[in-house]
Structure 1
Amino acid sequence: MTVQKTKGDVKDLSLAGAGVDRIRWAAREMPVVNMITERFQQEQPLAGIRMAACLHVTTETANLAIALKAGGADLVVCASNPLSTQDETAAALVQEYGIPTYAIKGEDNATYYQHINAVLDYAPMVTMDDGADLVGILHKERSDLLANVIAGTEETTTGVVRLTAMAADGQLKYPIIAVNEAETKHFFDNRYGTGQSTLDGITRATNILWAGRRVVVGGYGWCGRGVASRARGMGAHVIVTEINPVRALEAVMDGFQVMTGLEAAKQGEVFITVSGGWHVIGKEHLAVMADGAIVANSGHFNVEIDIPALEAMAVSHREVRPFVEEFQIADGRRIYLLGEGRLINLAAAEGHPSAVMDMSFANQALSAEYLVKNYTSLGNGVHVVPREIDAEVGRLKLESMGITIDTLTAEQTAYNESWEEGT
């Protein structure tokens, strides 16, 4: 298929030099992706594959894109969030690495969806998504292109939930690997990456002191665990809200105070949602928050906070700092919303440290290679990352750290595989 190409749509190509420096700096902390890039360059496992990636356009993503292109992929990139793009990185991808990129930090919703449709115009064979917007639009509005698609990957918890629902309804028309479910992804990226980068984003936006602060964490999945533990490490008093009794019990056993969202709303000073759910902070919570409450989200979409309710309650609002909006409530209280309710770690900071994204994007690259080789044997639906890929990412990460571990002997393997009692 012949596809008409453009260079993309970025803010300013003159930023490319600074972008290259930042991309190379991130690469220093991404040894696994670097090793995969070297192998891909030699083996060309993605040769001839048109690939569309809807991801956060950051320096870490750029290194993944470089790896995919090195493997032969005909790649085009767009942003998965209007506020997460690093404009210099986007410029570098276009100008220095020849990867068409459609991403501008702060782009409005109309431009955001125009960019997604622009990458779909390339008629991709493989999709790489972060939140399932690309896949959703492909199925709902551009279904004429589905015949070209052989497989895809999904990076986030939110995206996996959406795709699983599509599959359950019989609407997902090709196999997708849930990279988010890899142990080397959610154990490290979600817990350590989200934990650190979320506090980083809030700190940059507000310059608050965490010590002694009452922090409410909405959701105790892997991301919530990370945020709660890092906030406690900074000296905060952490309260967790949950709807899952097992996770709530785990939070209690981890030493956190657990209560309903409404009770937490009366006590908290900083509120952080990381559930992937709808209106975790709703009108009833906003109505009882104290004057000066800070509200932020680190889940994929900005629906975790009922922003329309906050706007309706306010008699006025204004930006008091970059990424900080002050909403003046009729009763005199002020509530501060960070980053428009979008991913605060990417809106006000740089996202996860490169060292953890190294494992996440290694899973992305190796899953893409696996799909190209094996898509004909996979049914339409959501699939887990093969165990051998997960283990290989872990092994390569340990190797890059100079760490070796034991392996089973033949006798130990035989014992583990036997049903007979040991002697």
Structure 2
Amino acid sequence: MNARETSIIQDLSLAPEGHLKIDWVKEHMPVLNRIRKRFEQEKPFAGLKVAICLHLEAKTAYLAKVIQAGGAQVTITGSNPLSTQDDICAALVEDNIQVLARYNPEPEEYKQHLIKTLETKPDLIIDDGGDLVTILHEERPDLLPQIRGGAEETTTGILRLKALVKEGRLRFPMMAVNDAYCKYLFDNRYGTGQSVWDGINRTTNLVVAGKTVVVIGYGWCGKGVAMRAKGLGAKVIVTEVDPIKAIEAYMDGFEVMSMDQAAELGDYFVTVTGNKDCIRKSHFEKMKNGAILANAGHFDVEINLRELEGLAQSKRVVRKNIEEYQLAGGKKIYVLAEGRLVNLAAGDGHPAEIMDMTFALQALALEYINNHYQQLEKKVHNVPYELDQQVAAYKLEALGITIDRLSEEQKAYLESWKE
């Protein structure tokens, strides 16, 4: 495959800047570097095609290069039109990875990039939000027989996959990378927590200390967003629909209330639920002048922008990635990054050291699927715990941290019902 001839990107001349970004993250991804060395020797994907749909920035690019080092012919596209970085796309093309993506394409063009990625007839896929899987099952079932299986990155994608399984329609095994311990404990909490506020602060250039932040959803991502907001000096309110998570937020020291109550109090609102219409008309009407709204969920449906536009008398871009909606009476509400993932649409995503662990899991999960796809049921599978432990052990080793090991006697004690 000649990637220069088959890719669809914005500008190949941007490649030098993209290479610098990829080289930078590579220096901070020791776990993935270790896996790459083994892949180069063993070639676990020799002769196979791999399709990747992820946020197309530097860390993702390095994952694609690691998969390529394992012998795969790699095609990659973006999972969000505003998170694709054109210089990264150009650099990958120079490394002979087919890229079908550019920053901020029209919706139909974005959809065509996804379809063309699947038309390469991949054996394995890495998906983000279930877009590739959905197209395969709804629009291009002719491409299903080639697929051995794949790995899913996000909570939203896993929910979609489980819905397919419930209907008895999923046609190949998928690994729930999002549900691996090293994913949700570190990526979802620390990665999302930091990167969301990186994106908000870079975009607004406003202080957080002393402000009231409303975090909608207290899953692992919401926990990270709330924790970082508290660290920045904000007063934090959490809204939830799950009573257990609500109590957890309360015991973590946050105020807990309904969204109807919180709407009047917040200076910043961050949605992290994976559900639609979490902020809607009745909430916009109660918000104070100058409220700032951001989404950290996968799809741009958590803030009901259609209802906000219906209330607005005017709308304008006041700063890059900030849209101002002026309502009757002069009240202004600001939406960041068009309601898309603020940490990627208005930032660089999670820190490299965090994505090192997540993408190491992706690489190992893909290898596991390829080795066992004939024996695995066509459903959503958890990442084997030993892969989680392997990634964690590699990370500790890279950090120079030594931990204890159980003696044989201790192991026997833990496995016995006798004292």
TM-score band (shorter)?
over 0.9
Please say if 1:124 is aligned against 2:122.
yes
Contact 1:240 1:258 in 2 (8 A): yes
- Deviation, 1:214, is 0.5
The equivalent residue for 1:73 is 72
Cα offsets for 1:267-314 (capped at 9, x unmatched): 111100011111111111111111111001010000000010001111
The 5 Å alignment of 1:12-91 reads 12-91=11-90
Q: Measure the CA separation in 1 of the matches of 2:395 and 2:185.
A: 14
Task: Give the Cα separation in 2 of the matches to 1:4 and 1:405.
Answer: 45
Amino acid at match of 1:159: G
How far apart are 1:149 and its partner, in Å? Answer: 0.5
Q: Distance in 2 between matches of 1:390 and 1:126?
A: 21
Preserved CA contact (<8 Å) 2:3 2:93: no
State how far apart, in whole Å, the 2-side matches of 1:260 and 1:104 are.
39
1:225 corresponding residue in structure 2: 223
Q: Normalising by the residue count of structure 2, what TM-score does the alignment of the two structures yield?
A: 0.98
Name the SS of the counterpart of 2:162 in structure 1.
helix
Aligned to 2:8: 9
- Aligned equivalents of 2:264, 2:286: Cα separation in 1: 6
For residues 168-199 of structure 1, what are the alpha-carbon distances to aligned partners after superposition, in whole Å with 9 as ceiling and x for unaligned? 11111110001000100111011001000101
Name the residue aligned to 1:326: 324
- Residue from 333, 336, 342 that aligns with 2:334: 336
> Is 1:314 the equivalent of 2:312?
yes
How far apart are the structure 2 equivalents of 1:4 and 1:136?
26
Indicate conservation of the 8 Å contact 1:215/1:231, yes or no.
yes
**Superposition map of 1:1-400 within 5 A:** 6-95=5-94, 97-400=95-398
Distance 2:268 2:187 in 1: 23
- Checking the alignment, whether the CA contact within 8 Å between 1:217 and 1:241 is kept in structure 2 is yes
**Moved beyond 4 Å, runs of 4+:** 2-6
Which whole-Å CA distance do the structure 2 matches of 1:385 and 1:328 have between them?
47
Corresponding residue SS for 1:174: coil
Q: In the TM superposition, what is the alpha-carbon distance from 1:5 to its structure 2 partner?
A: 9.5
How big is the shift at 1:4? 11
Deviations 1:244-286 (A, max 9, x none): 1111000000000000011000111110001111111111111
CA distance in 1, matches of 2:71, 2:224: 36
In structure 2, C-alpha distance between the alignment counterparts of 1:103 and 1:115, rounded to whole Å: 6
- Counting aligned pairs with the same residue, the percent is 52
RMSD, aligned CA: 1.3
Partner of 1:266, secondary structure, is coil
1: CA distance between counterparts of 2:106 and 2:29? 32
For residues 223 and 4 of structure 1, do their structure 2 counterparts lie closer, same or farther at Cα, with a shift above 3 Å needed? closer
Q: Using the alignment, how far apart are the partners of 1:37 and 1:191 within structure 2? A: 26
Question: For residue 53 of structure 1, what is the amino acid of its counterpart?
Answer: I
- Looking at structure 1, the residues matched to 2 and 374 of structure 2 have their Cα atoms a distance apart, in angstroms, of 24
Q: Distance in 2 between matches of 1:256 and 1:7?
A: 51
Q: SS state of the match for residue 287, structure 2?
A: coil
Letter paired with 1:418: S
Distance across 2 between alignment mates of 1:219 and 1:49: 40
CA displacement, residues 214-262 of structure 1 (integer Å, 9 cap, x when unaligned): 0000000000000000000000000000001111000000000000011
**Which residue identity does 1:46 align to in structure 2?**
F
Judge conservation of contact 1:138–1:146 (CA < 8 Å) in 2: yes
Contact 1:54–1:80 (8 Å) recurs in 2: yes
Please tell me the residue identity of whatever aligns with 2:166.
Answer: A
Q: Specify the SS of the correspondent of 2:215.
A: strand
Q: Distance in 1 between matches of 2:43 and 2:220?
A: 35
> Aligned residues, how many?
419
Give structure 1 stretches of 5+ with no counterpart.
none
What is the distance in 2 between the residues matched to 1:310 and 1:246? 31
1:403: how far off?
Answer: 1.0
CA distance 1:90–1:102, change in 2 (3 Å) = same
Deviations 1:24-70 (A, max 9, x none): 10111100000000100000011111111001111000110011000
Map Cα deviations across residues 353-400 of structure 1 (whole Å, 9 max, x no partner).
000000000000000111110111110110100011000000000011
Residue identity opposite 2:347 in structure 1: A
The AA in structure 1 aligned to 2:79 is S
CA contact (8 A) 2:3 2:96 kept: no
Q: 1:50 to 1:155 in 2, by over 3 A?
A: same
Deviations 1:94-126 (A, max 9, x none): 01x110011111112111101001111101111
Supply the distance in 1 between the matched residues of 2:161 and 2:194 (Cα, whole angstroms). Answer: 28
Contact 1:4–1:122 under 8 Å retained in 2: no
Supply the distance in 1 between the matched residues of 2:119 and 2:6 (Cα, whole angstroms).
13
